[in-house]
Structure 1
Amino acid sequence: MGYIELKNVTYTYPLAEEPSVRDISAVMERGKFYSILGANGSGKTTLCNILRGFIPNFYQGEMSGEVIFDGKNLQEYEMGELASKIGYVFQNPFNQITGARDTVYGEIAYGLENFGVPVPEIRDRVDQIMELTNITYLRDKNPFELSGGQQQRVAFASVLVLEPDMFVIDEPTSQLDPRETERVFDIILKMKEMGKTIVLVEHKMELVAQYSDEVLVLEEGRLIRAGEKHEILSETGLQEHGVMLPQTVLLAEKMRNSGLKIKDGIITEDEMREQLVNIGR
């Protein structure tokens, strides 16, 4: 049994005529990094909301099938219980910052206060998480006066401090420049090294190729591919299904077509660099 199991999950939003996800079955293991890919409207965010328990509890609508999380049906958990087990990071950090406190420190501490964590422990955990996410220098700033990238790191910190075992992260870098994108992925890498289970929606394919363990591909609400990242991302035919591929994959394909002996399954820049060094010898 996997850490998360989806069994023939179909979901239709209220007033919608067609399901947003259709008959999805998948197994996710604890401690792995999964990326969800697909064109706009393919059901990625809907699947995220199913995995974090907001569907059907919050959004209502009609859902069939089962989601098993850590050995128990997801719908049997209380929402407050899930908040400490499954962390969610929004695409827009402005939607995640509560505004209940007027400093970054207070914002990060707010969730722990709601869970009744003792004050000395709150201080320790907030200090550790601010250091981990490289935002200690922002501790006395108002969260709404920060840049988008800084806000996103505060959003990560406010979830990380609750110490969930699983994170669902929906396009966290879509509004960030390359430098802030790198900083956010530094945090995600640290989460992976901590053994957290990560489910990420992301369009920056070089980052997906570098960090993921496995990839799931959606098209019109259906799961059309799932597996180890090299196997899935090296499939150039996925472009016909609205999926962007890493530039490295497209370059490797062009080089093979021109007669160069490029091995199969190259998806990252480091793998391509190593291959080019070997060709040059």
Structure 2
Amino acid sequence: MSFITLQDVSYKYPLAKTFALKHVDLSFEKGKFYGIIGQNGAGKTTLCNLVRGLVPHFYGGSLTGKTIIDGTDVKKWDTDQLATQIGYVFQNPFTQISGVKETVFEEIALGLENLGIPKDEMIERVIRVCKLLKIEDLIKRDPNALSGGQRQRVAFAAIIAMDSDTLVIDEPTSQLDPEGTADVFAIIQLLKEQGKTVLLVEHKIDLLAEYADEIVVLEKAQVAFQGPAQEVLQNPTLLEHGAQIPQVALLGSKLKEKGIGLAHIPITQKDAIAAIEERLGGES
């Protein structure tokens, strides 16, 4: 059953001449990991802002159609209540740090303070999430003096500590190195295993292929594709819509063109190895 549903949604920011979202129909189920892809300006961040309630409550503008979140139209949601259900990690970590706390520990605990979480539980949650994200060494640091990658981790930690049922995450690895990126995806996978719903905007298509249940492709403010990751990411026509496909899917398509077809077009390295071994085994 859908937890978030968009029905013929169109949205235009104040003073904008073009739509940021146009006639969008989408549905998101609880407990699934959704990868959201598309070229810059396709509407990915606007979709995140809508699901989080920043559209229309913060940005204003013109919103038509219906956006139903847990049975209630987003226009009728109280934004503070919605914030307890849906955590949002912004694309730019510099905009997510509050600027009013002197230590990383206090920064991560800020949202819990606002929720009135008891002090002992608050301390336990902050310590646990710092260990999870491997940022224990930052706890006493000034959050306003951190690098972009460090701020990204702290922003992520603050949202995870809130223990929201749904997380909307806008390019969390944009300022992280490969090791940090791998850590973030491992954490997102763990959150999914805990039953969280994850909507992730990300350009690292090979990692999305490995972790995501479903993929949403946006193009020019509209939905070009939505479906299971295996089905969507093996489609070479994604390239014509400003989206990428995994390298192994490109390989699978090329092999098929040359008459060396595999049982199916793989989207992960593990899947590719299994498909090639199966093909070789069939020829022996």
SS in 2 for 1:264: coil
The yes-or-no answer on 1:188 pairing with 2:188 is yes
**SS at structure 2 position matched to 1:3:** strand
CA distance in 2, matches of 1:122, 1:57: 29
Instruction: Please identify, of 51-60 and 106-115, the stretch whose mean Cα deviation from structure 2 is larger.
Output: 106-115
Corresponding letter in the other structure for 1:10 = S
Q: Deviations over 1:153-198 (max 9, x none)?
A: 2111101111111111111112222122112212211211111101
Which residue is equivalent to 1:40?
40
Are the counterparts in 2 of residues 231 and 265 from structure 1 also a CA contact under 8 Å? no
Rounded Cα–Cα distance in structure 2 between residues aligned with 1:184 and 1:150: 12
Give the deviation of 1:17 after TM superposition.
1.9
Counterpart-to-counterpart distance in 1, 2:100 and 2:68:
33
The question of whether the paired residues in 2 share the 8 Å contact of 1:6 and 1:24 is answered with yes
- Whole-angstrom CA distance in 2 between matches of 1:201 and 1:218: 11
Counterpart residue type for residue 91 of structure 1: Q
Within 2, Cα distance between the matches of 1:153 and 1:234?
31
TM normalised by structure 1 equals 0.95
Find the counterpart in structure 2 of residue 127 from structure 1: 127
Give, as a single letter, the amino acid of the residue that structure 2 aligns with 1:176.
Answer: L
Aligned to 1:58: 58
1:234 aligns with 2:234: yes
CA RMSD of aligned residues (A): 1.4
Distance in 2 of aligned mates of 1:172 and 1:263 = 35
Per the alignment, residue 272 of structure 2 pairs with: 272
Distance in 2, Cα, partners of 1:132 & 1:170: 20
> Residue 164 of structure 1: SS of its match in structure 2?
coil
Instruction: State the alpha-carbon separation in 2 of the partners of residues 191 and 280 from structure 1.
Output: 38
Q: How many angstroms apart in 1 are the aligned matches of 2:191 and 2:146?
A: 23
| Residue identity matched to 1:198 | V
SS of the residue 1:153 aligns to: helix
Match of 1:160 in 2: 160
8 Å CA contact 2:2, 2:30 repeated in 1:
yes
Counterpart residue identity of residue 86, structure 2 = I
CA contact (8 A) 2:224 2:241 kept: no
Answer yes or no: is the 8 Å Cα contact 2:21–2:43 preserved in 1.
yes
Q: How high is the TM-score relative to the length of structure 2?
A: 0.94
* Corresponding residue of 1:69: 69
Write the mapping of 1:132-281 to structure 2, written as runs, cut at 5 A: 132-281=132-281
Q: What amino acid maps onto 1:83 in structure 2?
A: A
- In 2, Cα distance between equivalents of 1:132 and 1:180: 12
Q: Distance in 1 between matches of 2:277 and 2:265?
A: 17
Mapped to 2, the partners of 1:152 and 1:185 lie a distance apart of 13
Partner of 2:115: 115
Find the aligned partners of 2:145 and 2:112 in 1 and give their Cα distance: 23
Q: For residue 78 of structure 1, what is the aligned residue in structure 2? A: 78
1:33-58 CA distance string (max 9 Å, x none): 11111111111111111111000111
Residue of structure 2 in register with 1:6 after alignment: 6
Q: Provide, for residues 54-87 of structure 1, a one-character-per-residue CA deviation record: whole Å limited to 9, x for no partner.
A: 0011111000011111111122221111111110
- Measured at CA, do residues 183 and 145 of structure 1 come closer, stay the same or move farther in structure 2, by a change above 3 Å? farther
Say if 2:100 is the partner of 1:97.
Answer: no
CA contact (8 A) 1:215 1:226 kept: yes
- Write the deviation string for residues 117-155 of structure 1: whole angstroms up to 9, x where unpaired: 221121121122112222223211222333433322211
Q: Distance in 1 between matches of 2:111 and 2:234?
A: 41
Q: How far apart are residue 112 of structure 1 and its match? A: 1.1
Question: SS of the residue aligned with 2:57?
Answer: coil
Contact 2:85–2:166 (8 Å) recurs in 1 = yes
- Count of residue correspondences: 281
Identity across matched positions, percent? 46
Is 1:28 matched with 2:28? yes
Where 1:255 maps in the other structure, the secondary structure is helix
Q: Say if 1:37 and 1:217, in contact at 8 Å, map to a contact too.
A: yes
Q: In structure 1, how many angstroms separate the alpha carbons of the residues matched to 2:143 and 2:193?
A: 27
Task: Provide the rounded CA distance (Å) in 2 between the counterparts of 1:139 and 1:175.
Answer: 20
Of stretches 147-156 and 9-18 in structure 1, the one that deviates more from structure 2 is 147-156
